[in-house]
Structure 1
Amino acid sequence: MITIYDIAKKANVSAMTVSRVINNTGRISEKTRVRVRQVMEELHYVPNSAARSLVLQETRILSLLITDITNPFYTTLARGAEDAAMKRGYRLLFSNSDEDVGKEKEYLEMVLSTRVDGVLFSPAGDNSLPQLEKLHKHGIPFVLIDREVPGVECDTVLGDSRLGARLLVEHLFQLGHRRVALLNGSMKVSTARERFTGYAEALKLHDLPWDDRLVFEAGYGRASLGTIEEAVERMLALPERPTAVFAANNFLALDAVKAFRRRGLDVPHDLSVVCFDDLDPNSVLDPFLTVAAQPAYEFGSMGIRLLIDRIHGVEAGSPRKKIVLPPKLTVRQSSAPPRS
């Protein structure tokens, strides 16, 4: 096994100099640094990261814990996070909670035992609070993305869910719809609460009456399919059924469209459907959905930059940052004027 002493001997420098080159510490001339690195390459030397982490009290490893890697929003977010981490010399561990607080807890226990330097975290919901308190207790920096948890003070990167909801519902109103159903996620998740608020604000702005029968709570995860089927049945059983549906995320919208089609209904001719978050650009779904698209890549890259700055004390003593990214309304074929 090649050691730093072998490198030092061939490069004609001290072992301490080799250590400083590896860890990028101390004052060393560029000529010496280049010579040492050339010798390391010649001898195929691989630094011992475990030993390095013990010396420097850092692993250069970050954890990304998200709720559903199959959702294109989170897939793109993960790419942004990974790219930003690698640019700063960090590696990224990916974990997926499936909107399950129990699974989330298991992954964060692993994070604590792995000695990562920080966590970029999209919580399953308000019940994630004990996990976040545990990270804080162990001194592990973390940044929340996409969702907030009441009672937690930390840096966050969020989307403007209220604005996006208003844009989508007002788009439907402009098409002539007056009975718009809300197919929402769990109200234990901050984005669901914000999208509910945006939906309610749009109704109020257009002087339209509130109707509890048009509001349905399912869940963001794939396990909510049965709940969506039940919600669709209830929608269609109403004496005056809705002419449009605002789904709080793309998976809810997809499952709703499929449920309508199974019942012989056409989107958008029988019902319009709009939603938060875009689909995979290679999706074969027809019609393509009208969406409030969020800059998913920026969620990941900004979150990582905030996290690394906290790790290195760049923001030490400064107030926690809350970055809110605006959505963009993208109108496609899933929304059309109601049948007269």
Structure 2
Amino acid sequence: MITIYDIAKKANVSAMTVSKVINQTGRISTATRERVQKVIDELGYIPNSNARSLVLQRTQMLSLLITDITNPFYTTLARGAEDAANARGYRLLFSNSDEDYNKEKNYVETILSTRVDGVLFAPAGDRSIDHLKQLQERNIPFVILDRTVPGITSDVIAGDSREGALLLIRYLTELGHRRISLVNGSSEVSTARLREEGYVEGLREAGIPFDPELVLRTGYRDFSDEAGIKRLLAQPEKPTAIFAANNMLAIGVIRLLRKRGLRVPEDISVVCFDDLDLASAFDPFLTVAAQPAYDFGAIGMQMLIDRIEGTAQPESQTVILPSELRIRASASVPPAIN
């Protein structure tokens, strides 16, 4: 079994110097560090993770807590986070709250007992403040993903939800739509609030008055509100287009429209936030405001590790990632002016 003393002898340095190279601590010249690392590589030395964690007071273990593992946005985000963690020598534990505060609470308690070094946290909503404060009280670094939580100051990776929604509404109004419905998530979620702001702004730009009867607020997952869709379509002047605030809502909306015998986009157009990624590559259909999901995870993980290792800026950082309008087949000119 290779030890640090074997490395020290071959590299002609002290065992303490080898330890500093392995644990990336202390001041060592570049030449010495490279010489020691070369010997480590030649001998195939693998550090003892338990011993290393005692030296660094770290476990090299991180947690990723997301809200919906069935949503392709989050699965792609998770891949980005995992790749970035592995590249920096960390292992990653995955948790999924299903947009449920109680389930999120249980996972935070598990995270606290596991002694992870930090957490990438996609909050279920504003009430996640209690869970984030628990992490703060235990001095566990975290980066908030996708959504913000009022009352919490931290590093944040978020998309430009307002601008992405505005792009979609502009596209629909340019096609000629004036009766545009919004199927949105809970108002307790920051992205839902921002996407509604973008929706309202898009209508205003086109000179279309906001009609609250065209707004259906629900959850972000497992959409099956047949009564809500029936109410939207029963209006004297029914909508010619629907903006779904995320991809899972869009799938549910289209399923319910087809159940009622309506074709997309021939009878009604549908657009949404977030892409379906690989699933859509085989038969691209939905017009979307696509977010760079992989970058959410990768950049968020880099920020988290920098915070853990003390190389981040002292002040909290917020990174806003832009959306891209991807025009496909789910929206067209409204039937009345075809």
- The one-letter code of the counterpart of 2:288 is V
Aligned to 1:320: 316
Question: For 2:142 and 2:121, how far apart are their aligned partners in 1?
Answer: 7
Aligned to 1:55: 55
Q: How far off is 1:5 after superposition?
A: 7.3
> Do the aligned partners of 2:129 and 2:149 also contact (CA within 8 Å) in 1?
yes
> Do the aligned partners of 2:7 and 2:36 also contact (CA within 8 Å) in 1?
no
Q: How far off is 1:121 after superposition?
A: 0.9
Question: For 1:283 and 1:180, how far apart are their aligned partners in 2?
Answer: 24
Aligned to 2:195: 195
- The one-letter code of the counterpart of 2:183 is L
Corresponding position: 1:272 with 2:269 = yes
> Do the aligned partners of 2:158 and 2:319 also contact (CA within 8 Å) in 1?
yes
Q: Which moved more, 1:113-122 or 1:186-195?
A: 113-122
Secondary structure of the 2:272 match is strand
Q: 1:333 aligns with which of 318, 329, 334?
A: 329
Structure 2 CA distance for partners of 1:129 and 1:29, relative to 1, 3 Å:
closer
> Do the aligned partners of 2:182 and 2:244 also contact (CA within 8 Å) in 1?
yes
Q: How far off is 1:287 after superposition?
A: 7.0
Secondary structure of the 1:73 match is helix
Question: For 2:163 and 2:221, how far apart are their aligned partners in 1?
Answer: 23
Question: For 2:214 and 2:327, how far apart are their aligned partners in 1?
Answer: 23
> Do the aligned partners of 2:21 and 2:33 also contact (CA within 8 Å) in 1?
no
Q: How many residue pairs end up in the alignment?
A: 331
Q: How far off is 1:125 after superposition?
A: 0.4
Aligned to 1:94: 94
Q: How far off is 1:251 after superposition?
A: 0.6
Structure 2 CA distance for partners of 1:190 and 1:32, relative to 1, 3 Å:
closer
> Do the aligned partners of 1:267 and 1:287 also contact (CA within 8 Å) in 2?
no
Note the 1:5-44 alignment, pairs <5 A: 7=6, 16=16, 19-26=19-26, 27=28, 28=32, 30-39=34-43, 41=44
Q: How far off is 1:134 after superposition?
A: 0.5
Question: For 1:287 and 1:31, how far apart are their aligned partners in 2?
Answer: 52
Aligned to 2:134: 134
Q: How far off is 1:51 after superposition?
A: 2.8
Corresponding position: 1:261 with 2:258 = yes
Q: How far off is 1:316 after superposition?
A: 4.7
Q: How far off is 1:250 after superposition?
A: 0.4
Corresponding position: 1:300 with 2:297 = yes
**Unmatched segments (≥5 aa) in structure 1:** none
- The one-letter code of the counterpart of 1:175 is L
**Unmatched segments (≥5 aa) in structure 2:** none
Q: How far off is 1:211 after superposition?
A: 1.3
TM-score by length of 2: 0.90
Structure 2 CA distance for partners of 1:24 and 1:274, relative to 1, 3 Å:
same
Question: For 1:272 and 1:123, how far apart are their aligned partners in 2?
Answer: 31
Aligned to 2:117: 117
Q: Give the RMSD, CA atoms, in angstroms.
A: 2.3
Structure 2 CA distance for partners of 1:6 and 1:321, relative to 1, 3 Å:
closer
Q: How far off is 1:68 after superposition?
A: 1.1
Question: For 1:29 and 1:296, how far apart are their aligned partners in 2?
Answer: 36
> Do the aligned partners of 2:184 and 2:216 also contact (CA within 8 Å) in 1?
yes
Q: How far off is 1:61 after superposition?
A: 1.8
Aligned to 1:242: 239
Aligned to 1:147: 147
> Do the aligned partners of 1:183 and 1:247 also contact (CA within 8 Å) in 2?
yes
Q: 1:251 aligns with which of 248, 271, 275?
A: 248
Aligned to 1:162: 162
- 1:30-53 per-position Cα deviation (integer Å, ceiling 9, x unaligned): 4444334433x3xxx653322321
Structure 2 CA distance for partners of 1:36 and 1:104, relative to 1, 3 Å:
same
> Do the aligned partners of 2:287 and 2:330 also contact (CA within 8 Å) in 1?
yes
Q: How far off is 1:132 after superposition?
A: 0.3
Q: 1:226 aligns with which of 224, 227, 240?
A: 224
Q: Which moved more, 1:158-167 or 1:48-57?
A: 48-57
Q: How far off is 1:126 after superposition?
A: 0.5
Q: How far off is 1:8 after superposition?
A: 6.3
Structure 2 CA distance for partners of 1:30 and 1:211, relative to 1, 3 Å:
closer
- The one-letter code of the counterpart of 1:247 is A
